[in-house]
């Protein structure tokens, strides 16, 4: 629980914009293979389809979740917060 002193300090940063990103997975490729990529190429990631994706703020992992579709856009349904971030 945040006390009133902390709330006044916190209010000064609540409107600061941060970079939020989602990491779906990764792979390692030789530069030769990267240079040969063409439209329509499929790059297989290490992540399995059922694995949670990472939700990052400024490159710091804060939560895990699953990819969902809301109307015509991808979204993330948060399934758990990373310890130390809640």
Least confident of 5-9, 31-35, 75-79, 80-84: 5-9
Sequence ranges of the domains in the chain: 19-81
Q: Which fold has domain 19-81?
A: Surface presentation of antigens (SPOA) (2.30.330)
What is the full DSSP assignment across the chain? ---HHHHHHHHTTTT----EEEE-------HHHHHT--TT-----SS-TTSPEEEEETTEEEEEEEEEEETTEEEEEEEEEPTT--
Q: What is the pTM of this model?
A: 0.71
pLDDT, tens digit (0-9, with 9 covering 90-100), for 31-74: 999 999 999 999 999 999 899 999 999 999 999 999 999 999 99
């Amino acid at each position: 629980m945040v006390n009133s002193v902390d709330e006044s300090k916190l209010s000064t940063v609540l409107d600061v914009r941060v970079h939020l990103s989602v990491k779906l997975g990764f792979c390692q490729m030789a530069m030769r293979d990267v240079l040969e990529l063409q439209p329509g190429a499929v790059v297989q990631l290490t992540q399995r389809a059922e694995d949670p994706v990472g939700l990052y703020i400024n490159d710091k992992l804060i939560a895990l979740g699953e990819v969902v579709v809301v109307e015509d856009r991808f979204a993330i349904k948060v399934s758990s917060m990373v310890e130390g971030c809640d």
